[in-house]
Structure 1
Amino acid sequence: MRGFFIGRFQPYHYGHHEVIKNIIEKVDELIIGIGSAQESHELENPFTAGERILMISAALDELNIKKKVYIIPLEDIYRNSLWVSHVCSMAPPFEVVFSNNPLVVRLFLEAGVKVFNTAMYNRDEYQGTEIRRRMLENEEWESLVPPSVVKIIKEIDGLRRIREIGGKEIGNGVIIGSKSNLKSPMIAEESQEEKKYE
Structure 2
Amino acid sequence: MTARYGMIHGRFQPFHAGHLEYALAALSRCSHLIVGITNPDPSTCVVEPTDPQRHRPGANPFSFFERQWMVRAALVEAGVVPTRCSVVPFPIHHPERWRSYCPPEAVQYVRLFSDWGSEKLQRFQADGWRVEVLNAGAAKRVSGSQVRRKLRTGQNWEACVPPAVAVVLEAIHAEHRLRQAEEE
Normalised to the residue count of structure 1, the TM-score between the two structures is 0.75
Q: Distance in 2 between matches of 1:73 and 1:95?
A: 16
Partner of 1:191: none
Secondary structure, counterpart of 2:80 in structure 1 = coil
Secondary structure, counterpart of 1:28 in structure 2 = strand
Among 171, 177, 181, the alignment partner of 1:155 is: 171
Q: Which string of whole-angstrom CA distances, capped at 9 and with x for unpartnered residues, describes residues 72-131 of structure 1?
A: 012465xxxxx222111223444310113112111111122111112276624x110111
Say whether the 8 Å CA contact 2:31–2:84 is kept in structure 1.
yes
1:44 correspondence with 2:47: no
CA RMSD in angstroms, aligned pairs only: 2.1
Q: Distance in 2 between matches of 1:90 and 1:113?
A: 14
Q: Which string of whole-angstrom CA distances, capped at 9 and with x for unpartnered residues, describes residues 106-163 of structure 1?
A: 1111122111112276624x11011111111211100110111111111111111111
Query: How many aligned positions are there?
Result: 162
The structure having more radius of gyration, on CA atoms, is 1
Segments of structure 2 that go 5 or more residues without pairing to the other structure are 44-55, 112-116
Normalised to the residue count of structure 2, the TM-score between the two structures is 0.80
Q: Distance in 2 between matches of 1:160 and 1:18?
A: 27
Moved more, 115-124 or 9-18: 115-124
Q: Distance in 2 between matches of 1:139 and 1:50?
A: 25
Segments of structure 1 that go 5 or more residues without pairing to the other structure are 78-82, 171-198
TM-aligned CA deviation for residue 6 of structure 1:
0.5
Secondary structure, counterpart of 1:11 in structure 2 = coil
Query: Taking every aligned residue pair, what percent have the same amino acid on both sides?
Result: 28
Q: Distance in 2 between matches of 1:56 and 1:161?
A: 20
Among 11, 15, 20, the alignment partner of 2:14 is: 11
Secondary structure, counterpart of 2:100 in structure 1 = helix
Report the residue type matching 1:88 in the other structure. R
The 1:122–1:150 alpha-carbon spacing in structure 2 relative to 1, beyond 3 Å, is: farther
Partner of 1:123: 140
Partner of 1:144: 160
